[in-house]
């Protein structure tokens, strides 16, 4: 039985990362959070006051960025490192969320990230989530999932997630941020967010975490048992 690449794309706060992590664990695959890569790049730009409207500044900055994923045995999850620093939790801040879509629209940033993602996928046996994984990064992936959910549900989910870290955040802040990211991600010139023609749509508005995992695990096992 050969390992495959599984892509999970979709809108913010649809639970892509949660599903991808669980699916990878069940299959014994590596989980790669592509969105975390763009967040880490955004964090570097903000920390070093990089003007991302200046192509030369972006090019120079990218030469100084090394992104790695390391498995945390204690937490039982992959965590992202930026130039040797574990930034798994730093990149989840709303300040990063407000800027990441702008950074992710840049052609050179996307080329930089996609090249790293494709290198990670060379040996297959991975589950990767993001916004253009099934369309741009791995267009030949055997199983592609496209996740959606009602905007009200997505706002509630993201609010609960962020409120634990920042009690001053409001639900209006979260809704505004999600709507802005949806618009930018769907309308950017380079690799816009869209459902691949051969992707299976998963609307999890009314699904529990357990139900969506069971559905996708079934799909994955069906693909794994198909002849090459």
Burial (CB < 10 A; 0-12, 13-18, 19+), residue 29, is: buried
Residue 123 confidence (pLDDT):
86
Residue 132 confidence (pLDDT):
92
Where do the H-state alpha helices sit in the chain?
16-27, 34-47, 55-62, 94-104, 107-120, 151-163, 171-187, 209-224
Residue 228 confidence (pLDDT):
61
CA dist., res. 114 & res. 210, Å (int): 30
pTM: 0.83
Residue 188 confidence (pLDDT):
87
148-170 pLDDT, tens digit each: 999 999 999 999 988 887 888 99
Q: Around Cβ 111, how many Cβ atoms within 10 Å?
A: 13
Residue 78 confidence (pLDDT):
81
Domains recognised in the chain with CATH numbers: 5-217 (3.40.50.300)
Give pLDDT < 50 ranges for the chain: none
User: What's the half-sphere exposure (Cβ side, CA atoms, 13 Å) at 184?
Assistant: 17
């Amino acid at each position: 039985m050969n390992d495959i690449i599984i892509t999970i794309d979709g809108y913010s706060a649809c639970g892509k990362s949660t599903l991808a992590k669980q699916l990878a664990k069940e299959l014994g695959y590596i989980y790669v959070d592509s969105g975390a890569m763009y967040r880490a790049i955004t964090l570097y730009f903000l920390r070093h006051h990089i003007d991302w409207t200046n192509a030369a500044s972006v090019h120079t900055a990218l030469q100084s960025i090394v992104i790695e994923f390391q498995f945390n045995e204690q937490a039982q999850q992959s965590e992202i490192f930026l130039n040797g620093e574990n930034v798994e939790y730093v990149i989840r801040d709303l300040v990063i969320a407000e800027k990441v879509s702008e950074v992710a629209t840049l052609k050179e940033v996307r080329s930089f990230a996609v090249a790293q993602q494709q290198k990670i996928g060379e040996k297959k046996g991975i589950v990767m989530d993001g916004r253009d994984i099934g369309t741009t990064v791995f267009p030949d992936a055997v199983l592609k999932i496209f996740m959606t959910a009602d905007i009200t549900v997505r706002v509630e989910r993201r609010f609960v997630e962020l409120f634990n870290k920042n009690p001053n955040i409001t639900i209006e802040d979260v809704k505004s941020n999600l709507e802005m990211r949806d618009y930018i991600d769907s309308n950017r010139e380079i690799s816009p967010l869209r459902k691949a023609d051969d992707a299976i749509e998963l609307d999890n508005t009314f699904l529990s975490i357990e139900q969506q995992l069971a559905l996708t695990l079934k799909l994955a096992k069906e693909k794994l048992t198909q002849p090459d």
